[in-house]
């Protein structure tokens, strides 16, 4: 066992490096935002059984909650908790699903208006939406593969120590799980 000598400073943990009650509450804010966006049209319906439609809604809500909680938690570290250290690979991967969601939303909005100039706008819109969906799927699979590499490299000790261990691992695993869900959704649609 090594002792810390007076010449070696002890490693000081910053407030943003620890998982606190504030982080847990901010994670819940991300999930609450997702639940309010996805389930608000269905609030009058009682989910009495777990059928396929209910399962898809709950899975979509879970995925959006994971995607929304990343920017909320990491933003609070920068704005309120004094973080001034760059983000690790896992933290960037935690932001990627929200970025893909924003790109997809802007793409749908833009394609809706671009398709209006063509004579058969419904068919053109359907083709554009299919191409956009395929592009977003490829982006998510690419992020999933990067997340798999980060998780494996962290497990084998090939990457440097991240500034905040819990956000790095949570972000990489979240991106990995969302990529698996995207793969399952595409396979379900294609079968």
Length of the chain: 191
Structure-block tokens of residue 55 = 């399962």
Are residues 100 and 76 in contact, defined by beta-carbon separation less than 8 angstroms? no
Tell me the three state secondary structure of residue 85: coil
Question: Per the domain annotation, does 49 fall within a domain?
Answer: yes
Are residues 180 and 33 in contact, defined by beta-carbon separation less than 8 angstroms? no
Question: Per the domain annotation, does 32 fall within a domain?
Answer: yes
Question: Per the domain annotation, does 170 fall within a domain?
Answer: yes
Question: Per the domain annotation, does 128 fall within a domain?
Answer: yes
Q: What percentage of residues in the chain have a pLDDT greater than 70?
A: 90
Give pTM, 2 decimals.
0.80
- Any idea which residue has 């083709």 for tokens? 127
pLDDT single digits (tens) 25-80: 999 999 999 988 888 777 666 666 677 777 888 888 898 999 999 999 999 999 98
Series of mean pLDDT values for 10-residue runs along the chain (191 residues): 49 82 94 88 67 80 92 92 90 93 89 82 86 91 94 88 90 92 84 73
Question: Per the domain annotation, does 115 fall within a domain?
Answer: yes
Give residues with Cβ within 8 angstroms of 89, minimum separation 6.
146, 150, 159, 162, 168, 172
Residue among 174, 187, 180, 181 at smallest CA distance from 60 = 181
Cα gap 50→42, rounded to integer Å: 14
Question: Per the domain annotation, does 7 fall within a domain?
Answer: no
Question: How many domains are there within the chain?
Answer: 1
Question: Per the domain annotation, does 3 fall within a domain?
Answer: no
Its domain, for residue 86, covers 16-190
Are residues 66 and 177 in contact, defined by beta-carbon separation less than 8 angstroms? yes
């Amino acid at each position: 066992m090594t002792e810390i000598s007076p010449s070696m400073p002890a490693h000081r943990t910053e407030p943003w490096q620890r998982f606190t009650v504030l982080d847990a509450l901010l994670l819940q804010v991300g999930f609450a935002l997702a639940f309010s966006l996805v389930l608000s049209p269905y609030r009058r319906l009682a989910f009495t059984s777990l059928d396929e439609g209910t399962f898809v809604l709950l899975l979509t809500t879970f995925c959006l909650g994971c995607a929304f909680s990343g920017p909320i938690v990491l933003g609070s570290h920068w704005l309120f908790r004094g973080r001034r250290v760059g983000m690790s690979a896992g933290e960037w991967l935690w932001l990627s699903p929200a970025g893909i969601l924003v790109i997809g939303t802007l793409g749908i909005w833009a394609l809706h208006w671009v398709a209006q100039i063509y004579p058969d706008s419904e068919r053109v819109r359907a083709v554009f939406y299919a191409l956009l969906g395929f592009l977003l799927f490829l982006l998510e699979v690419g992020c999933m593969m990067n997340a798999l590499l980060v998780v494996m490299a962290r497990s084998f000790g090939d990457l440097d120590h991240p500034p905040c261990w819990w956000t790095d691992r949570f972000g990489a695993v979240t991106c990995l799980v969302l990529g698996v869900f995207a793969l399952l959704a595409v396979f379900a649609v294609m079968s």
